[in-house]
Structure 1
Amino acid sequence: MKTISSRDNAQYKELKHLATNAHALRKAGRTLLDGVHLCETWLRMRGQPEQCIVSDSGLRHPEIVALVVKLEAHHGRVLHLPDALYEPLSQVEHGVGILFLVEMPRPAVPAALAANAVLLDNIQDPGNVGSILRSAAAAGIGEIYCSPGTAFCWSPKVLRAAMGAHFVLEIYENVALAPLLAGANIATLATSGYAKQKLYDVDLKRPVAWVFGHEGQGVSDELLALASHKVVIPHLGEVESLNVAACAAVCFFEQVRQSQARAG
Structure 2
Amino acid sequence: MNTPLSHANSRVKEARKLSRRSVRTERRLFLADGPKAVEGALSVPDCVVEVFATVRAADEHAQLLADAPQVWLVEDRAMESLSDSVTPAGVVAVCRFLDVPLSDVLARSPRLLTVCADVRDPGNAGTVIRTSDAAGAAAVVLAGHSVDPYNPKTVRATVGSLFHLPVVIATDPGEVVSELRSAGLRVLAADGGGERDLFEVDLTPPTAWLLGNEAWGLPDELAGLADERVAIPIHGRAESLNLATAAAVCLYASARAHR
Structure 2 length-normalised TM: 0.90
1:192-228 superposed Cα distances (whole Å, 9 cap, x missing partner): 1111210111111121011000111111212111100
Residue 85 of structure 1 corresponds to which residue in structure 2?
78
Contact (CA 8 Å) 2:170, 2:176: kept in 1 or not?
no
Per the alignment, residue 146 of structure 1 pairs with: 142
Question: Relative to 1, partners in 2 of residues 1:193 and 1:7: Cα closer, same or farther, differing over 3 Å?
Answer: closer
What are the superposed Cα offsets for residues 221-263 of structure 1, whole Å, 9 maximum, x if unpaired?
Answer: 1211110011000011221110011001000111122222xxx
User: Which residue identity is paired with 2:73?
Assistant: H
3-state SS of the aligned residue for 1:131? Answer: helix
1:13-43 residue CA offsets vs partner (Å, 9 max, x unmatched): 2122223x23212322111111111111222
- Is 1:163–2:162 an aligned residue pair? no
- Taking the aligned partners of 2:71 and 2:78, their CA distance within structure 1 comes to 15
* Equivalent residue number for residue 55 of structure 1: 54
Q: Distance in 2 between matches of 1:17 and 1:52?
A: 15
| Corresponding residue for residue 17 of structure 2 | 17
Instruction: Give the corresponding residue for 1:132.
Output: 128
Q: What stretches of structure 1 of length at least 5 have no aligned partner?
A: none
Letter in 2 for 1:227: A
- Kept in 1: contact 2:7–2:75 (CA 8 A): no
Asked whether the 8 Å contact 2:6–2:75 carries over to 1, the reply is no
Contact 1:109–1:172 (8 Å) recurs in 2: yes
Query: Which residue does 1:210 correspond to in 2?
Result: 209
Q: Tell me the CA shift for residue 48 of structure 1.
A: 5.7
Q: Which residue is equivalent to 1:106?
A: 99
Task: Output the amino acid matched with 2:36.
Answer: H
Aligned residues between the structures: 253
Aligned-pair RMSD on alpha carbons?
Answer: 1.9
- Give SS of 1:106's match: coil
CA contact (8 A) 1:132 1:245 kept: yes
Match of 2:170 in 1: 174
Conserved 8 A contact 1:112-1:180: no
Unaligned runs of 5+ in 2: none
Shift of 1:167: 1.4
Report the Cα distance in structure 1 between the residues aligned to 2:7 and 2:129, rounded to whole angstroms. Answer: 36
Report the residue type matching 1:87 in the other structure. Answer: E
Instruction: Verify the 8 A CA contact 2:128 2:244 in the aligned structure 1.
Output: yes
Q: Secondary structure at the match of 1:195?
A: coil
**Does residue 119 of the first structure (1) align with residue 129 of the second (2)?**
no
Letter paired with 1:219: L
Q: Which residue number in structure 2 is paired with residue 5 of structure 1? A: 5
**Distance in 2 of aligned mates of 1:136 and 1:70:** 27
The answer on whether the counterparts of 1:119 and 1:144 sit within 8 Å (CA) in structure 2 is yes
Residue 37 of structure 1 aligns to a residue whose secondary structure is: helix
Amino acid at match of 1:18: L
Alignment CA distance shift 1:46-1:92 (3 Å): farther
1:79 deviation in Å?
0.9
User: For residues 226 and 7 of structure 1, what CA distance do their matches in structure 2 show?
Assistant: 50
The one of 54, 64, 68 aligned to 2:65: 68
Sequence identity (%): 27
